[in-house]
Amino acid sequence: MGPLEIVIILIVGLIAVGPGKLPQLARNLAKGISAFRKATMDLTTGVSKEFESLEKEEKEPVKQKKKVQATDKTETTEEDEASNSTR
């Protein structure tokens, strides 16, 4: 959008709304845009955190399974040693 388009929009806004209400309208528009950006950022942050937590949950069961398998191998080894010593 070039400077000519901005000037034309301001002139049309000045004619349609009036000189007294134009600054108030611009202020309200800026507040609305700011609130929209903040809501968008909050939503993006929330979604990102959810994805990170899901990724962590996916990785943790793999680690826990490895620990369980290692524990099972240790128990089997102890059982084997006990059975070997009785023979």
SS3 sequence of the chain: CCHHHHHHHHHHHHHHHCCCCHHHHHHHHHHHHHHHHHHHHHHHHHHHHHHHHHHHHHHHHHHHHHHHHHHHHHHHHHHHHHHHHHC
The pLDDT score that the predictor gives to residue 48 is: 93
pTM (two decimals)? 0.50
CA dihedral 49, 52, 54, 55 (to 10 degrees): 180
Express each pLDDT in 36-79 by its tens digit.
999 999 999 999 999 999 888 888 766 655 665 655 555 555 55
